[in-house]
Each structure stands twice: as C-alpha cells, then as structure tokens.
Amino acid sequence: MSRPQLAALKRLLAPSPLTRLDERCDLCRQEISKAHQHVVNLETRGLLCACRACYLLFTHEGAGQGRYRAVPDRYVAAPDFALADEQWDALQVPVAMVFFFFNSLLDRMVAFYPSPAGATESLLPLGTWRQLTRANPLLETLRPDVEALLVYKRPEGFECHIVPIDACYELVGRVRRHWKGFAGGETAWGEIEAFFAMVRSRGARSGVEATS
C-alpha cells in the first residue's frame, strides 16, 4: 500500500464520528442529533457526519463533482450466500469477521477485518472475488465505496449481510475499544454479538418493509 493510501486509511480509522461529543454536520456545521447519517469523501476516504439536508444533496450520482457519496441505510441478510471454506481460507483472515467493498480510489475490491489496531487489510485474491460474484448475484448490487459485504464466521456456518460502510467501521471501533489479549475477552465478544444482533434486526425490518 502506498504512503498516500496509508494516510487515507489512517484518516478513515480515526475515532468514529458516531461517538463524538460535538455533534455537528461536517459539511455545514449545523447541529445534528446523535443518530445521523454519513457521507464518504471519496478523495480522503473519510466518513463525514451529515445533517439531513446535506446528506440528501449527495444521494444522486455525480453530486458534488463526484467527490462525496451518501452512505445508504440498506441492510440485507443473505442467509443463502455461497461461501466455501477454501475461499475463506484464501483470505487468511485471523479473526471471524471480514468486510468487502469496492474502493474507487484504488479501483478494486478490498477486504478488511476488525482488529485491536483498527481495520486491517487482507489480501483479496482476484479469482476468489470473481468466484463469489458468480455464485452470488447479490454482490453485483453493492454500491461502490458506501456498501459492504460483511461476513461473520460462526460455528454453524457463515453469516453474511449487505450493510452500509459506516456500520463496518462501527464494528471496527467496538473491537478496537474493547479487545483484550489474544482472544478478545468477554466484553469484546459481547459487543460483537450486540452489533450483529442490531444488523439482523435491521435486515429483518428492511425485509418486512420491502414486502409490505
């Protein structure tokens, strides 16, 4: 990874805007509630807190000269996602979680996993991603930069979801704040389970809304 890319990643891994005490829109400085939406700065890879008005400005392709992109709130459970153990092993992820998204700055798919040091990149063999896409057409709906495939390897199998990119970095923040020692500790795993319970709940709610 080049020096500019490392610098951009460090900015993205700075303390989450979800937990800032100063809740203001990063674009217009208007006060916002703790529960707010985000915009990705595609040049710096930074997540920006946004008021509703600023957020809506960047929901259209090419808005802001293509520099900013609104993070959607889509959560989709993928219980039938096809992922083989050998494909997982090829990623060489040392923990049970990984997320994939298309990085426009790098013009390729990337894979990251949460760690005590923050989000850590895993080398993504191109052939592995092509195999996953062929087996799972849902991946073709991923919106570049702002949506990710989140995978949780559980004893009973792989749990897969399409989630907003800010949700992935919320998970990264929980792991970074609470992970202790080699195995993580009870508190960290409690945070992880609470996070995935939230993801399942939002995915179920989205599914009901889509069929109503």
Token readout for 54 is 């600023």
Q: pTM for this one? A: 0.83
Question: Which residues make beta-bridge pairs with 38?
Answer: 49
Q: Residue 1 to residues 5, 50, 106, 120: CA-CA distances in angstroms?
A: 6, 29, 10, 12
pLDDT band (50, 70, 90) for residue 22: low
pLDDT band (50, 70, 90) for residue 124: confident
DSSP 209: H
**Contact criterion met (CB below 8 Å) for 91 and 128:** yes
Nearest Cα residue to 10 out of 169, 179, 208: 169
DSSP 123: -
pLDDT tens, position by position, 126-164: 788 888 999 999 999 999 999 999 999 999 999 999 999
Q: Where are the domains of the chain?
A: 3-70, 76-211
